[in-house]
Structure 1
Amino acid sequence: MPGTGWPEPGGFLPREVLKFIQLVAAQPLAGIEVVECSPPYDHAEITSLIATRVVCDTLGCLVRAGHLPRTAGA
């Protein structure tokens, strides 16, 4: 991701990260945190967009796996 203080060449591709999220979120999670998303370095907002996608996909996977309620009243 380009929008970090220390980009890592040859790191994971976004599709690989999203697949990892599907595998990890199949189990109950205690929490999730996005770290090192730095807007001054994120000129095209690539890092911000993938961070948002990771959080949304994680929540969706937790709902699909039954670890979060599907409705507000459940």
Structure 2
Amino acid sequence: MIIAESRLNHAAFQSSKCEPVSLRSFADSNGLSYNLLRKYCNQGRVIGARQHVRTKHWWIYPPAKIVPSQLRW
């Protein structure tokens, strides 16, 4: 099930016509700090974030969503 879900998400990213946004510009446009958003990406809390294979930089593919922490639910 996890494999099928990751394929579905990957297909959604590929079919999107939106250009990716760098992590820094996404953080600036949403009023978040760069380090906090990078931490969220590493934790897997940003839906629509992917890490580049070679450079290891994070890219955000719109529409992206930040998932709240489970500790605060």
Q: Which TM class, normalised by the smaller chain length?
A: under 0.3
Structure with greater Cα Rg: 1
Q: Between Structure 1 and Structure 2, which shows a larger proportion of strand residues?
A: 2
Which structure exhibits the higher relative contact order, with contacts defined as CA atoms closer than 8 Å and separated by 6 or more residues?
1
The two structures have a TM-score, normalised by structure 2, of 0.28
